[in-house]
Amino acid sequence: MTDSHRNFWIEVLNAFEPLMKRSDFLTWFQFSGVLDRSADQLTLGFPTVLSRDWVVNKYQVKLLEAVQACDPAIQTIIYDVDGKLSQPGDLRAVDVKMLSPENKKLRKVRGKEEFTVTADGIRSKALNPKYTLDNFIIGSENRLAHAASIAVSKRPGTAYNPLFIYGDVGLGKTHLLQATGNAILRNNPNAIIAYMTSEQFTNEIVDAIRRQGAKSFKDRYRNVNCLIIDDIQFLANKERTQEEFFHTFNALYDSNHQVIISSDRPPKELKDIQDRLISRFEMGMIVDVQFPDYETRLAILHAKCREHQVILPNEVLEFIAFNVHHSIRELEGILLQAMAQYELEQSTPTVRSVATIMKKLNRDGDFAVLENGREHRSLAKTPTDVIQIVCEYYKVNKSDLLGPIRRKEFLTPRQIAMYLIRKEFDASYEQIGEEFGRNHTTVMHSFDKIVSSMRKDRKLVRDINALKQEMGL
């Protein structure tokens, strides 16, 4: 029933959106969905108490009218809270950013997909114009993928073909796919872009076979300038779909038309995908996107604040950046709820209130409240704790941090750990030396080096302050 519930809610949202400010719509209805629907009763779910209460207080009557316009039988709406709606992959939740006014005239609803129809009858998901290559936040973990996307947008079919982007869920692959498609359209407004999931591609094949009989499926794609397939891994074990995709790929490639593919893993790790398809994927450019580091996460949060025209305290943004370690969607979801608190309660979010939001979302981690009222994910009680947290922050192995290697990526975290242990635990140089297998002169030099560098290196100061916050020091 998830598809029909989702379809119905999208229909209601499309009708309801013009009745309110778009900024409010994006803030309060994001990741809402239908939890249950009976003959005369509808149960709506919201990811936070704040969003539910705001909708109930402001739009309860008008929302019932909008629901009844779509289904006159509904007499009652129950408003509920389900934190799982904001988690990646929850099919009940609707990403209201996709209900963009720029796309509304082009979009239709079929199943749970929103799509446009090309001149050749290909159903393509509507590209969201909010996704651009300019507003994609670049970090070391996605720089190559972004650069490759720019190259493809400027020279589709000749730069990198195919372009294969892989990475875990919620790390920005979809942003890059749609942004590249949008950039191609800006450079060539007459270009035909077909963007779809592997599931939709399979449905296209089924429809083509039923309607056109023996006519080759790839004939419908000969005029497509760019084919974008999201989550190619779901073609696993679908032999007929893989067969048709192979022929479609060849037809586009031979015509110098661009193919862009995303997956949750690199081609060589795809299971139950034909070897000849994998070899095609490996013909072009393979790039990955990884979870962003702290600096990039913080930049994403600042960008989202600018987008929503909201100013939040830096310590709140820093706290969110440090305590989210799974996906960008989760990062944005927590920020959205902090913004909701700001607008609904007319109060500035604090680290305390954000920690409370995280706990309500059943996030892992221990948020301890310190004397100054600030919460932290973990507390460093011993020098060993400091070493472990520094390793996690800089993504280095403990054996390398304690080892003899003097490369900068190990030396700087090592010196910072020594500095923090000396500064915060008042340990002697000899005691610290025993922890690191160094003499007291080396430890003294490391401490003095960090003290000196902090006078001129603002990034180092931010890193150390962030580490202290992470440790609860």
Q: The domain 383-471 belongs to what CATH superfamily? A: DnaA protein, C-terminal DNA-binding domain (1.10.1750.10)
Q: The domain 100-288 belongs to what CATH superfamily? A: P-loop containing nucleotide triphosphate hydrolases (3.40.50.300)
Instruction: Please give the pLDDT value at position 107.
Output: 38
Distance CA 230, CA 233 (A): 9
Distance CA 197, CA 195 (A): 7
Tokens of 77: 């709406």
Residue 244 CB neighbours (<10 A): 21
Listed residue (400, 419, 404, 408) closest to 467, CA to CA: 419
Instruction: Please give the pLDDT value at position 110.
Output: 35
Instruction: Please give the pLDDT value at position 305.
Output: 86
Instruction: Please give the pLDDT value at position 395.
Output: 86
Residue 211 CB neighbours (<10 A): 9
What are the residue ranges spanned by the domains of the chain? 2-96, 100-288, 294-376, 383-471
CB proximity list for 426: less than 8 A, separation 6 or greater: none
Phi, psi for 76 (deg, rounded to 5): -140, 140
Instruction: Please give the pLDDT value at position 377.
Output: 45
Give Cα 221 distance to the centre of its chain.
Answer: 30
> One-letter amino acid identity for 239?
E
* Residue pointed to by tokens 């300019």: 134
CB proximity list for 143: less than 8 A, separation 6 or greater: none
Mean pLDDT by 10 residues, the chain (473 residues): 78 84 85 90 91 87 87 89 83 79 38 46 69 88 93 92 90 91 89 87 76 59 86 90 89 92 92 93 92 87 84 85 81 83 69 78 48 46 87 88 90 94 88 92 93 86 79 68
Tokens of 337: 């709820």
Asked if residues 63 and 16 have their Cβ atoms less than 8 Å apart, the reply is yes
Q: Are strands 163-166 and 258-263 parallel, antiparallel or unpaired?
A: parallel
- CA count, 13 A, side-chain hemisphere, 407: 5
Distance CA 33, CA 92 (A): 5
Asked if residues 431 and 382 have their Cβ atoms less than 8 Å apart, the reply is no
Instruction: Please give the pLDDT value at position 104.
Output: 41
Peptide bond into 292 cis (omega under 30): no
Residue 21 CB neighbours (<10 A): 9
How far apart are the two ends of the chain, measured CA to CA in Å?
50
CB proximity list for 21: less than 8 A, separation 6 or greater: none
SS3 111: coil
- Fold classification of 2-96 (topology level): GMP Synthetase; Chain A, domain 3 (3.30.300)
Q: For CA atoms 83, 69, 56, 335, give the dihedral sign.
A: positive
SS3 228: strand
Instruction: Please give the pLDDT value at position 211.
Output: 64
Instruction: Please give the pLDDT value at position 109.
Output: 36
- The hierarchical CATH code for the domain 294-376 is 1.10.8.60
Paired strand residues for 44: 34, 79
List, for residues 382-432, the tens digit of each pLDDT value. 888 899 889 988 889 999 999 988 888 899 999 999 999 998 888 899 999
pTM over 0.85: no
SS3 429: helix
Alpha helices in 71-169 (DSSP H): 143-154
Distance CA 450, CA 455 (A): 9
Residue 20 CB neighbours (<10 A): 14
CB proximity list for 199: less than 8 A, separation 6 or greater: 231, 234
Paired strand residues for 379: none
List, for residues 140-183, the tens digit of each pLDDT value. 888 999 999 999 999 999 889 999 999 888 788 989 999 999 99
Residue 155 CB neighbours (<10 A): 15
* Strand ranges (E), 152-214: 163-166, 193-197
Residue 63 CB neighbours (<10 A): 21
Rg (CA), the chain: 26
> One-letter amino acid identity for 247?
H
